[in-house]
Amino acid sequence: MSGLARLIATWFGCGYAPKAPGTAGSLAALAIAWALHSYAGITAGGMGWLAILLAMPGIWASDVVARESGKEDPQIVVVDEVVGQWVTLAGATALNWKSWLLAFALFRLFDIWKPPPVRQLERLPGGLGIIADDAMAGVYGALVLFAAGWFNLY
């Protein structure tokens, strides 16, 4: 099971990017979301459901990799970025190149800045803390993305 956990936690190897693995995970999340939207018709709301579905195996995998590495939040774990990025996309009122770009920028901003309660959620134990803080950063991103769409800014 350790191999499966590592595959999920690193989002199929994206976590091994030599620089900015979190950004690599976010970009991979966007690429997959774009493909799912373009070829399977998944809507912005559908991305939110996919984020919820990914959260459970993501928590498990993150917990396994964190325990094995002896680190609270190993850099190679990027499934949390995927969950957070998909949560952010769920707030889009339309999916176009502007909303994709804005979703990426907003999620990365809130993930790095960690306004309350994002930083506090990071302190939850194991995989739950690893996923929860990025999911909350995604909620903030989704709210701003929704507001921007409401005002026709993309």
Confidence check: pLDDT of 32 > 90: yes
Q: Are 135 and 90 in contact (CB under 8 A)?
A: no
What pLDDT sits at residue 16? 98
CA of residue 118 relative to chain centroid, distance: 13
Which distant-in-sequence residues (6+ apart) come within 8 Å of 101 by Cβ? Answer: none
Q: Which domain holds residue 74?
A: 2-150
Task: Tell me the per-residue pLDDT of 57-115, one tens digit each, with 9 for 90 and over.
Answer: 999 999 999 999 999 999 999 999 999 999 999 999 999 999 999 999 999 999 999 99
**Length of the chain counted residue by residue:** 154
What pLDDT sits at residue 1? 79
CA of residue 8 relative to chain centroid, distance: 13
DSSP letters of 38-104?
HHH---HHHHHHHHHHHHHHHHHHHHHHHHHHT-SS-TT--HHHHHHHHHHHTT-SS-SHHHHHHHH
Confidence check: pLDDT of 145 > 90: yes
User: What is the average per-residue pLDDT within 143-148?
Assistant: 98
Which percentage of the chain shows pLDDT scores above 90? Answer: 99
H-helix or E-strand spanning residue 153: none
Confidence check: pLDDT of 144 > 90: yes
Q: Positive or negative, the Cα torsion across 91, 32, 103, 114?
A: positive
- How many domains does the chain divide into? 1
